[in-house]
Structure 1
Amino acid sequence: MLHTLMTSPYQCDFALLLRMLKAGDDLLLLQDGVLAALTGSDKLALLAASSATLYVLQDDVDARGLSAQISTSMTTVSYTDFVALTVKHPQQMTW
């Protein structure tokens, strides 16, 4: 399943998101969801402990001026990669 976090991780049911992530799932952080990828954040530590593969949309990181603050453990992707993730996962959940 592809999970997309579009809102701030501080304005959603982040605990439920973590419980829903399973092995084989991908999580894409976009829009204000990119805040969960900030180096040293408590949300990043929780995501890193999950079994999902984590991605962050580069355009949204750039739009927020956060490039230097995004964890290097995150895989940055383009919109083309985003489309590939949606093709890979017929089931999707938006947070």
Structure 2
Amino acid sequence: MLHTLINSPYYSDLSTLLMLINIEDDVLLIQDGVIASIKGNFIINKIFEIHKSVIIWALEEDLKARGLVKQISTKVRLVNYNGFVKLTEKHQQQMIW
């Protein structure tokens, strides 16, 4: 499943997100969800406590728009729009948070 976080992690149901994450899942941070990619953010650490193999992606264009590119965690991978499309093709099931 692709979990897409579009809202700030401070305005999302993160406890439910954390309960639903599975080992095969990817997490995509877009729009205000990219705030979760900042170094030291609690959500990144919680996801990796549950499943170390889950990949967390952040849309590079949204990071640039918010001036956060130099502040992201090393646990987060950048993705462009083409990569975003590939993630949606990879996962038939998707959940937006």
TM-score, normalised relative to structure 2? 0.92
Distance 1:27 1:44 in 2: 10
1:78-93 matched pairs, under 5 angstroms: 78-93=80-95
Gaps of 5+ in 2: none
Distance 1:62 1:86 in 2: 22
1:58-77 matched pairs, under 5 angstroms: 58-77=60-79
Residue 89 to residue 15, structure 1, CA distance change in 2 (3 Å): same
User: Cα offset for 1:46?
Assistant: 1.2
Amino acid at match of 2:13: D
Distance 2:34 2:13 in 1: 16
Amino acid at match of 1:74: V
Amino acid at match of 1:26: D
RMSD: 0.9
TM-score, normalised relative to structure 1? 0.94
Bigger helix share: 2
Q: What is the identity percentage for the equivalent residue pairs of Structure 1 and Structure 2?
A: 45
Secondary structure of the corresponding residue to residue 10 of structure 2: coil
